[in-house]
Amino acid sequence: MSANAEKILQEALNLPPQDRAEVLERLLATFQEAPDPELDKLWALEAEDRSDAYERSELGSVSAEEVFARIDRQRGK
């Protein structure tokens, strides 16, 4: 890492948590590709389909507590 980058990093680390989160979010956004409207449309349709299936009782659900418990078991905790 260059000296300039190291200086910027040290300054960023001294920021309050909320400001650090904002800096991080904005930096990460520079690595993302432009949104694909067609892909967004497909995901929205998928979400609607799943929601409709749930409302028709064709799709079950699992509580967040159970999901996290399963993850903990898989990780050996």
Taking only the tens place, the pLDDT of each residue in 29-42 is 999 888 899 999 99
54 and 24 share one domain: no
Other Cβ atoms closer than 10 A to 69: 13
Q: Which residues fall within 8 angstroms of residue 28, CB to CB, at 6 or more apart? A: none
Dihedral sign of CA atoms 19, 23, 68, 45 in order: positive
For residue 20, the number of C-alpha atoms closer than 13 Å in the C-beta half-sphere is 9
56 and 21 share one domain: no
41 and 5 share one domain: no
Instruction: With cut-offs at 50, 70 and 90, classify the pLDDT of residue 21.
Output: very high
Read off the tokens for 48.
């609607």
52 and 22 share one domain: no
- Domain containing 61 equals 36-77
Task: State the DSSP code for 14.
Answer: T
**Global confidence as pTM:** 0.48
Please give the pLDDT value at position 35.
83
